[in-house]
Amino acid sequence: MTKQLHENICEERLFSSIFNKYAKDLHNFLYYKYGDLLNPKDKVQEAFIKLWENCAKVSPDKAKSFVFTTANNLMLNETAHQKVVLKHQQIKPKTYTNETPEFLMQETEYMDKLQKALSNLTDAQREAFMMNRVEGKRFKEIAELLEISTKAVEKRIYGALEKLRKDIKEL
């Protein structure tokens, strides 16, 4: 007992033996508890650095408790930090545009008109039109997919265009 009172963790020999004795167990503890994403190896190193910085204050019989508590607290701090980072990543920054509010309102009205006009098309016209204009498919591809002739596809798309032009004057 009196020998422990005179031993000091600041002695390199004793510190090395404590490191060799507990480092692997500490790493395994952190790895099992928190996984590999928060770098348990780094936290083990940081815990032993803190032990070295506080070597005069920590007795050898409290060293294990000190490094395990310190490393666990470091991991908890890192976990809390990662939660904050995730929270800020989820918050989308405000988008600013150069368009005037009037232009944005007109754009919204136009999109509403377009949606209404598209819903007024027959199912066959809408299907062929959307495949051509949105998906970029050629008349021949559409004809093969719908199992109809190329002329039928042309008729559906041109009929859709005429109806859309009538419903929306700006198109």
List of residues 6+ apart from 157 with CB closer than 8 A: 125, 128, 129, 132, 139
Chain CA centroid to CA 161, Å: 41
Residue 42 has pLDDT above 90, yes or no: yes
Angle (CA) 123 128 133, round 5°? 125
pLDDT in tens, 70-129: 999 999 999 999 888 888 887 776 677 778 888 888 888 888 888 888 888 898 998 999
Walk me through the domains of the chain, giving residue ranges and CATH numbers.
7-90 (no CATH), 116-167 (1.10.10.10)
Whole-structure pTM value: 0.51
